[in-house]
Structure 1
């Protein structure tokens, strides 16, 4: 009997004191070669790894992020000029591998409208698991900003609250997110959306 109680107490001590450990890095050069192991703070139950690619004319940039997360959904997001892949897991050091490059995904036949800062009538071909179209709007400085593109269903299921964004909606079917003209910059909203999907 004493042995069972001792084993039980040891089990409680080890599990109560255990915190999730994840790799951490943020690279603007496209490589997470200098990732470090981190003990996650209380409330973080998952590790994430994300790869984002932004294209502006002939210039492109690749950003890789690894960290702890309170909640996370694996999937991809394609806003035409910005593409991102997020991989989530819930065991120690499970984010050692980089998330796949979103540009390497194969077109899946779905198409959605996307915005380029001037117009939302541009069409983007969805890749990999991007089986939904997304539309997001925000009011910044008194002006409405619209972002559209392709998204994985898993990311659509977790669109509860994004700072500075009043409306996020997903739909299923080719070009279901409609075309609309815009005349203002949408980079701020793109960054808000991207950070939401990376950190929630």
Structure 2
């Protein structure tokens, strides 16, 4: 009996002291070639790989890897920017880059904001099976972002700093059309920073 208790206590001692290790990098040129291994801080339970593609006059692809507190695999599409995340929970499991955000339309259509106009539409792709509407305040200005999102990501976005409202819905164009006063890029940056910092 004493041997069983000793083995159990040793097991707890070794497993409680284990910290997750993940790869870390920020590739601003579309590649995460210079990744380093990192011991995650307390509270981090997952490894994250993220790919963001911003479209417009200048297209930019950013690859990010890091530790995460709460991470969900899936994708978001705000028209001007698309994000794909891959999450895992074992040591060094984020060695592979997150795939590029999907481009093959899946039949779902949602509203998206372009400057002051939120009556534009975007075709959802891959696992993006929900429409999303987010509102937030930055520098005293109210911002709105709309687009497509995977259900898994939508379920995990309720605690993003500076974003007061995140609502997801099913059905084409269910996220409503209305005008806004500021650019959607500020709000997208907040959503992106949430995934980078958590």
TM-score, normalized by the shorter chain, greater than 0.5: yes
Distance in structure 2 (CA, Å) of the matches to 1:164 and 1:6? 48
Q: Is the 8 A contact 1:85 1:99 kept in 2?
A: yes
Aligned length: 198
Give the CA deviation at 1:162: 1.7
Contact 1:72 1:199 in 2 (8 A): no
CA distance in 1, matches of 2:155, 2:184: 23
Contact persistence 2:66–2:196 (CA under 8 A): no
Q: Cα offset for 1:143?
A: 3.1
TM-score by length of 2: 0.92
The structural deviation recorded for 1:2 is 6.4
Q: Does the residue aligned with 1:120 lie in a helix, a strand or coil?
A: strand
The 3-state SS of whatever aligns with 2:187 is: helix
User: After superposition, where does 1:52-91 map in structure 2 within 5 Å?
Assistant: 52-57=52-57, 59-91=58-90
Question: Residues 155 and 197 of structure 1 are in contact (CA less than 8 Å); yes or no, is this contact kept in structure 2?
Answer: no
Residue of structure 1 in register with 2:19 after alignment: 19
Aligned equivalents of 2:50 and 2:95: distance in 1? 11
**Gaps spanning 5+ residues in structure 1: where?**
none
Instruction: Give yes or no for the alignment of 1:39 onto 2:42.
Output: no
Q: What is the CA distance between 1:9 and its match in structure 2?
A: 4.4
State the secondary structure of the residue aligned to 1:12: helix
Alignment of 1:130-169 (within 5 A): 130-169=128-167
- Aligned counterpart in structure 1 of residue 180 of structure 2, from 179, 182, 186: 182
Offset of 1:5 from its aligned partner? Answer: 5.2
Provide TM-score, normalisation by structure 1.
0.91
C-alpha RMSD of the superposition? 1.7
Residues 199/105 of structure 1: CA separation in 2 closer, same or farther (3 Å cut): farther
Residues in 2 aligned to 1:76 and 1:199: alpha-carbon distance in whole angstroms: 17
Q: Is the 8 A contact 1:86 1:198 kept in 2?
A: no
Give structure 1 regions of 4+ aligned residues with deviation exceeding 4 angstroms: 1-6
